[in-house]
Amino acid sequence: MSADIIHIGSRGSQLALWQTEWVKERLAAAHPTVRFEVTVIKTTGDRILDRPLNKIGDKGLFTKEIDNALLRGDIDLAVHSLKDLPTTLPEGLTIAAITERWDVRDALISRAGATLKALPRGAVVATGSLRRKAQLLHHRPDLRIVDLRGNLNTRFRKFQESDWEGMILATAGVERLGWQDRIAERISTDIILPAVGQGSFAVVCREGDEQIQALVQPVHHRPSALAGYAERALLRTLEGGCHVPIGAHARVEGGQFVGTACIGSLDGRRLVRESLSREFTPEFDRSAAEGLGVELARRLLDAGGEEILAEIRQVEER
């Protein structure tokens, strides 16, 4: 790292560049004497668009190439969607900051603005997420779910060219690109819990790089970070990823730190959902948040989640 230029790694999609610029602008405002430059890096997940995510593995699909650039010293920090970040980072890397969370809900994009309840029986709905598919089918077992990959621009184009009645996307991503008028419904978390980390950005740097870790603190948001740590601990305990329909939502609510999570079967017929809360005090830290995530994961397993996960792994092995 040169004394006055900080190199930020990012994927090249419109949404990825938007979130990187968001972080860059705030860091530049906090450090007016420092120059920040963005380096675009293409990842495996960006290149392989003809297969579902769960069919091409889930270890660093959208981060590995950026991680390698960081470890080589080609860049000084990287900005990711927290939901794309593996729950265990490569040795030598650490999360330096987690940004304030946007709307965690998933959004329904539909013809003529039809809500989820108003979609006709047997309607075709597109999503690339097993988590969304399982929860959607649990709520509306009559729906037909088709796979959807690509960046947001590609997904909207595919939707326009298709005969699908709807598609499900992350509300935060749609709103960040200014397309909120295309949202027919922001789906309640009572129906679909979000992905782990959905709605926040993570700033990653090299372990031991105290200068960068201090530099990025202006974008760090404690409640959102604690929520992210809790959800990631839950996912790590369940050994989940793109292969497993797991939803989670930790948040501060009425003086309590609350975690809610679910595990669903691939067909959506079975869904286990649990909640857990602790008093949110000034002393409530990362260790406490992660402890709640681990305990919530164990509750899910005891409530039937272990059986669901075993069945999913059997399907994967066939």
Q: In this predicted model, what pLDDT tens digit does every residue of 80-133 receive, in sequence order? A: 999 989 999 999 999 999 999 999 999 999 998 999 999 999 999 999 999 999
Would strands 106-110 and 93-98 be described as parallel, antiparallel, or unpaired?
Answer: unpaired
The sign of the torsion formed by the CA atoms of 98, 99, 100, 104 equals negative
Sheet with 201-206, strands from edge to edge, namely: 35-40, 5-10, 77-81, 201-206, 93-98
Specify the 3-state DSSP secondary structure of 260. strand
What is the structure's pLDDT at 2? Answer: 46
The sign of the torsion formed by the CA atoms of 223, 238, 61, 132 equals negative
How many Å separate Cα 8 from the centre of its chain? 20
Distance CA 121, CA 104 (A): 27
What is the structure's pLDDT at 200? Answer: 98
Residue 122 phi, psi dihedral angles, 5° rounding: 80, 10
Q: pLDDT by residue (tens digit) across 73-89?
A: 999 999 999 998 999 99
Mean of per-residue pLDDT scores for the chain: 93
Q: pLDDT by residue (tens digit) across 220-242?
A: 999 999 999 999 999 999 987 66
- Name the CATH superfamily housing domain 1-100+200-220: Periplasmic binding protein-like II (3.40.190.10)
Q: Has 4 been annotated as catalytic?
A: no
The percent of residues in the chain predicted with pLDDT above 90, rounded, is: 85
Task: Compute the average pLDDT of residues 7-24.
Answer: 95
Better-scored residue on pLDDT, 85 or 4 = 85
Contacts for 24 with CB less than 8 Å, ≥ 6 apart: 8, 36, 38
Domain boundaries along the sequence of the chain? 1-100+200-220, 106-187, 221-318
Q: pLDDT by residue (tens digit) across 163-212?
A: 999 999 999 999 999 999 999 999 999 999 999 999 999 999 999 999 99
Number of H helices and number of E strands within the chain? 10, 13
Q: How confident is the model at residue 254 (pLDDT cuts 50, 70, 90)?
A: very high
CB 167 within 8 A of CB 157: no
What pTM does this model have?
0.91
Q: pLDDT by residue (tens digit) across 38-61?
A: 999 988 766 554 455 455 455 567
Distance CA 65, CA 90 (A): 11
- Out of 3.40.718.10, 3.20.20.70, 3.30.1360.120, 3.40.190.10, the CATH code matching 106-187 is 3.40.190.10
Q: Tell me, what amino acid is at 30?
A: A
| CATH topology (fold) of 221-318 | Double Stranded RNA Binding Domain (3.30.160)
Q: Indicate the length of the chain as a whole number.
A: 318
Q: Which member of 76, 84, 106, 209 is catalytic?
A: 84
The string over 245-256, giving b where at least 16 C-beta atoms fall within 10 Å of a residue's C-beta and e elsewhere, is bbbbbbbeeeee
Equal CATH topology for 1-100+200-220 and 106-187: yes
Distance CA 261, CA 218 (A): 30
- As given in the structure block, the two tokens for residue 316 are 């994967």
CB 193 within 8 A of CB 249: yes
